[in-house]
């Protein structure tokens, strides 16, 4: 038994047509006209070397941190602090990665575009009004700006008489 796939003309209306990725921006061109082609080549070469050094240092640091964590586990020092530190380092390295920053930037830009649409503003307003009406009906009031429930009072104390 084989799966039946829709023809190209049958796909229209089934699958959304998503926009393509925006084109990559042109490479940075220096503002300073005094930079000559050989100087630019030297600067690009130095940039590549420094970026390679940074990558190497990050790799060495990550290796050393892993070794420290392993030694702590072997010594029985492995506790909640080590776990927190491992998670913190992993989250930091993910947040600093080029892939994460690129995706975060694109998602933020798209979300800002979505929040500016009339459809989003209408839905947001309707949901906000709905939440206010539910809160007011739960409070027993018809006003959407009613105060929240009052704190219950403690029952009177009937202790031993003196």
Distance CA 16, CA 67 (A): 49
Please list the alpha-helical segments (H only) found in 76-155.
80-96, 98-115, 118-139
Tell which residue, 68, 64, 96, has the closest CA to residue 82.
68
CB-based contacts of 78: which residues, under 8 Å, 6+ apart? 69, 72
**Domain limits, the chain:** 34-96, 97-138
- Give residue-wise pLDDT tens across range 15-50: 556 666 677 766 666 567 777 878 888 988 999 999
Least confidently predicted of 8-12, 27-31, 42-46, 139-143? 8-12
Distance CA 63, CA 57 (A): 10
């Amino acid at each position: 038994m084989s799966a039946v796939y829709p023809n190209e003309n049958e796909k229209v209306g089934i699958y959304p047509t998503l926009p393509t990725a925006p084109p990559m921006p042109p490479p940075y061109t220096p503002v300073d006209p005094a930079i000559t082609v050989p100087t630019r080549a030297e600067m690009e070469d130095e940039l590549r070397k420094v970026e390679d050094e940074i990558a190497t240092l990050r790799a060495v640091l990550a290796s050393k941190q892993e070794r420290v964590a392993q030694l702590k586990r072997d010594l029985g020092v492995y506790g909640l602090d080590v776990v927190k530190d491992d998670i913190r380092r992993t989250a930091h390295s993910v947040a600093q990665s080029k892939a994460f920053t690129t995706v975060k930037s694109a998602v933020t830009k798209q979300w800002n575009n979505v929040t500016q649409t009339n459809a989003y503003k209408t839905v947001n307003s309707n949901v906000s009004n709905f939440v206010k009406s539910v809160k007011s009906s739960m409070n027993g009031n018809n006003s959407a700006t009613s105060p929240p429930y009052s704190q219950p009072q403690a029952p009177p104390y009937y202790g031993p008489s003196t």
